[in-house]
Amino acid sequence: MVISRERMILVSDDANEVLGACQAIDNDWSIDALVRAIVLKYGNFDVEDLSVNVAVERRRARSRTDMELFLSDTYRTEALTIVECLNCFDENADGGSEWKTEFSFGGKPFPVSQYLSQFGRTKIYLSERQKRLVAFVDRRATNIWVQALESVMCRLMPWYYPADLPEEEQKFYRSIAVDNKAVTPEEKAEIFVRYVNEVAEKINFRDFKLHRLLDGIADRARQTRISSLSSTVANTRDAINRLMRDLSRQYEALDANLLELNALESAEPESNNAMFTFFSSHKQVHLLDVYDTALRFGVVDTLEFYDEEEFARLLGNRRSFLYEFDDAVRKGLKAIFADRKGVLKVNAVFDLHNFKLVEPRQNDSFITEAMPNPHIYFYGCSGGNGQYYSQYANSGDWDLGIEQAISATKNLSWGDSTVCRRMIQWLQNDSTYPCVYVAEGLQPIEKVTKEMRLVTFQDFLRMIELTEGDGANG
């Protein structure tokens, strides 16, 4: 009894869209249709919520271990699993305590496996907890074997069928039985098709398919549009806020420019006398060049602004970077920065742009008798003085801006180990020009000039110590 798919609604494309895919055994789709009919007729569940699986699986086993895996795999959910055993059929495969292999019907034993074995050695396992049926068949599930299995399905799904099987059900199963010679194969097929289609005709699979496909689409479209519009509104508000902030900055700049413009237009033209007076009275400031409305000037002065306590802390800490250098260097540094027996002459170069912006020049030095200020020369950094450059220049006090440049030149931060380490490396280099000067009150000893390198200054200190020692002994 081979029944084509086209004759049975329960295995049609529309039904498969709702119930899931299925496949034939030798072009016979009847077992899928029957299992679906049983579940839909007696399962007592809504077809829209297919919480009960109606799948029929075809599998193969190549060993007893494979057979037992089909029974031990608790994640399998198909209603019926037909397993073809390729030269490995073993009727003693162990499925565990929950698998039932002995069956009865109407209070009488019914040897299902023995019955099906007439058409191919068979072992049936049933789990009421999992609502699963596993049928092992030796070698191949033939059409006649499938037909025999269909004729006893009413005895293999006790979780669906009522205890007292209705007469019409009993009649159906007797009619399709393999050993019922009173009904021709064609008549069996007609009875089978009529039975499964009567179940299917109560369900509009096409409408269920449409309902499932369209379910929630309107709400999803609405939610998608809400999300898109919310994002657009948020982005637009952010853009407006950015424009408002930018507009506010533009107004502030306009007000500042108008204020300066009005002041310049109403003021008398300034002569060069003020600049001449400033540079003339500040001997440490050297006008180096003039570029249209820009001035380049250099500052040379002594290094005076530093934290003596910070230097003393570093000198007392053997793990500080000062101990990367030899003892003679540290003694020289101590004489300069703690004992003040000597001073460092430093220089730095700056640009004054249009009398509004003071800019320190990195890697620039204009005099060889003074060491470049390490903060400005190596990193273009003016420390806390930098924030006042433009503040004074923008208010018209360009002279105060230059005063801040002088202060920045005279400044050294011992807390910046990177800068100070590079300064010390520069000082101990024999090729550097003299920049250490003897402090006021200490006269240079014969053959030692007032300007010297750090190593020469160290020699000078040793001579001072010897001189002081001889005086004490005399």
Q: What is the pLDDT of residues 132-162, one digit of tens each?
A: 999 999 989 998 999 999 999 988 888 888 7
Overall average pLDDT of the 240-257 stretch = 90
Of 410, 317, 402, 316, the residue nearest 357 (C-alpha)? 402
Per-residue pLDDT, 447:
42
Query: What pTM value is reported for the model?
Result: 0.46
Q: Is residue 194 predicted with pLDDT exceeding 90?
A: yes
Phi, psi of 396 (to 5 degrees): 90, -5
The pair of three-digit structure tokens given for residue 112, joined into one six-digit string: 């299902």
Q: Give percent of the chain with pLDDT exceeding 90.
A: 42
> Cβ atoms within 10 A of the Cβ of 149, count?
26
Interatomic CA distance for residues 464 and 67, integer angstroms: 103
Q: Which residue has the tokens 């002994």?
A: 473
Interval 236-255 mean pLDDT: 91
Per-residue pLDDT tens over the stretch 360-394? 999 999 988 888 999 999 999 988 777 777 677 66
* C-alpha–C-alpha distance, residues 148 and 144, integer Å: 6
Rounded to the nearest integer, the mean pLDDT of the chain is: 85
Which phi and psi angles does 14 have, rounded to 5°?
-65, -40
The pLDDT-based confidence of 186 (bands split at 50, 70, 90) is very high
pLDDT at 78 exceeding the cut of 90: no
Task: State the average pLDDT over residues 265-290.
Answer: 81
Structure-model confidence comparison of residues 346 and 103, the more confident one: 346
Identify the CA nearest to 116 among candidates 98, 131, 134: 134
For residue 307, give every residue at least 6 positions away whose Cβ sits within 8 Å of its Cβ, in sequence order, or none.
413, 414, 415
Residue 379 in contact with residue 419, Cβ under 8 Å? yes
| Residue keyed to tokens 């005895």 | 155
- Cα separation, 150 vs 169, in Å, equals 13
Element (H, E) at 452: strand 451-452
- Are the CB atoms for 428 and 329 separated by under 8 Å? yes
Mean pLDDT of 338-367: 89
User: How many C-beta atoms lie closer than 10 Å to residue 430's C-beta?
Assistant: 8
> Which among 101, 108, 109, 110 is positioned nearest to 128, based on CA atoms?
101
Give CA–CA dist 425/375, Å, rounded: 14
Beta bridge partners of 291: 294
Are the beta carbons of 296 and 343 closer than 8 angstroms? Answer: no
The DSSP bridge pattern shows strands 285-291 and 294-302 to be antiparallel
C-beta atoms surrounding 446 within 10 Å: 6
How far from chain centre, in Å, is Cα 165?
A: 62
> Average pLDDT of 311-336?
92
The answer to whether the CB of 362 falls within 8 A of the CB of 379 is yes
Task: Identify the helix (H) or strand (E) that includes residue 404.
Answer: helix 398-409
